[in-house]
Chains A and B, each alone.
Chain A
């Protein structure tokens, strides 16, 4: 599976410092299956939040999204729940790496965040470096080439498999 440069849809909005224990609790790390993980994504925050996540295609968040553990399943759980991109004011570094490495678009675009509400639509274009929201277009710096290549192949492992063939 490759990742298309432009993706988006309905958003679900979170605040600052959403941690990986909340995204996917440690007790579920016995799995690496996206669908199985997705069932428990955001479980600590309750069913209403989980429903909103499943209806969304884009997670919008404040600062430091994905802080805490290095669990790669935090990104996989989001992908499994149908999330195609995360737009945040900033990311915790391991989550950012894990997102790129599992083919989940993660862009830092602080300007786009305040305008968005649950249920709005947002589109992310990593080629042009643009987040489009009902309030207009917001720019973010494009990915370095190395990361763009990984994303284009759908993540680190598919990228490696491609270069090994």
Chain B
């Protein structure tokens, strides 16, 4: 009886019968590196190695600082671009593409059953398509470029069963913020977080990405949603043939460290307050808090559905005077779709400024704050100084909460503005 994590690590290591706590060498299917790629290249140069284990398993996306803000950034991008060209790395996306995680999923590089490492802690997001995704440092990516492998400890698994229908104005983000608040920033440290239950089955890949992305904020090593018709349809749509992957599912009777039940119908919109992601309160507890900026962006919540929800709330309204609403689509594809459907137009009419796709303000690039300023953000981190001044504050919430708060200029429960707004 095996968990998903055990099966994924068996597949990637070739070792049968692995148990939690065991350390084995795994051979990942894909090594993602974002803007940090230049550090890998410099390290490789230092090693004097010119042969790569498998160039086709390397994926690079220039997302964290895009486009370049300094000559140093530009030189880093140039280094990566030229390296990719020289080494025959086909999976290279430049500064126009968007956030690595979203770009890789939209382009069919992430498939069920795969073991994927990335130079980004939110690599847990790949679990939304039934892959084992986990974050590592740039030295480990460099090592994988050379040797194709890295050591991995087999994690224990925790199953989170989310059931019911969420009340109006409450979304996948709110489910996760409540969980993070309840379990704490280390509640799932080194665990594989498996999301299940009737709500999880009912939602799309976009919301599952929000789940798996935010599992990291409880310390999870990876996250997972069992592939189902929703997953397969997504993969079909992005051109991944069904013969090119093997779906791995946990066995009946697999052993879990914990099974956690969440009743979705009992939830309400939630907000993380400064300066820790697990400082979570119902939005009503901080409603009325004055804001200087609202940011709709990041790998957690800037996908097409997220922008669409924000546009529905903002339609026919204006951003409050004195508030800056920054919308950074997760990817060029998201931006293009939002443009075609009118979502971008609605946001612009309401007074939002739309930036190019990428990590943007979440990584502190564009949209930074002055001393004493406050942002409500749809991102996944509110650590001190992450978006500018060490004396500024970040609150985290859903795209609906962000949109409602932008209209009023103060933190607002979106349900108050959603009468007649389609879910």
Contacts and interface: CB of A to CB of B under 8 A. Distances in A.
| A and B physically associate | yes
Interface of A: 17, 19, 21-22, 25-27, 29-30, 32, 43-44, 63-64, 67-72, 75, 90, 92-94, 97-98, 101-102, 144, 146-147, 155-157, 160-161, 164
A27 B383 CA distance: 13
User: Most chain-A CB neighbours within 10 Å: which of B146, B189, B221, B363?
Assistant: B189
Interface string B36-50: 100100110011010
Contacts, number: 109
A97 to B, nearest CB: 6
A44 B385 contact: yes
B136 A164 contact: no
Given A32-B42, A70-B135, A157-B46, A92 B186 contact: yes
B186 A67 contact: yes
A150 to B, nearest CB: 8
Contacts of A160: 47, 143, 146-147
A68 B137 contact: no
Contacts of B83: none
B219 A101 contact: no
User: Most chain-A CB neighbours within 10 Å: which of B46, B135, B137?
Assistant: B137
Interface residues of B, number: 44
A155 B72 CA distance: 27
Contacts of B120: 69-70
User: Most chain-A CB neighbours within 10 Å: which of B143, B189, B383?
Assistant: B383
Contact of B384 (A22, A30, A147, A164): A22
B384 A44 contact: yes
B381 interface: yes
B275 to A, nearest CB: 8
8 contacts: A19-B276, A21-B385, A44-B385, A64-B219, A70-B121, A72-B39, A101-B139, A157-B47
Interface in B119-160: 119-121, 123, 135-140, 142-143, 146-147, 151
Given A156-B143, A157-B142, A17 B189 contact: no
User: Most chain-B CB neighbours within 10 Å: which of A17, A64, A94, A146?
Assistant: A94
B73 to A, nearest CB: 7
A63 B186 contact: yes
Given A21-B386, A69-B121, 13 more contacts: A17-B185, A17-B186, A25-B385, A26-B386, A44-B384, A44-B385, A64-B189, A69-B381, A70-B121, A101-B140, A160-B146, A161-B47, A164-B49
A7 to B, nearest CB: 21
A141 to B, nearest CB: 11
B219 A92 contact: yes
Given A101-B139, A161-B47, A93 B390 contact: no
A97 B221 CA distance: 12
B383 A19 contact: yes
A68 B142 contact: no
Interface in B21-65: 23, 36, 39, 42-43, 46-47, 49
A93 B221 CA distance: 7
B389 to A, nearest CB: 10
B190 interface: yes
B364 interface: yes
Contacts of A164: 47, 49, 146
A104 to B, nearest CB: 12
Contacts of B419: none
B244 interface: no
Kindly list the 8 A-B residue pairs having the minimum CB-CB distance in the complex, ordered from nearest. A72-B137, A21-B383, A64-B186, A70-B135, A98-B137, A70-B121, A44-B385, A44-B390
A26 B379 CA distance: 15
A42 to B, nearest CB: 11
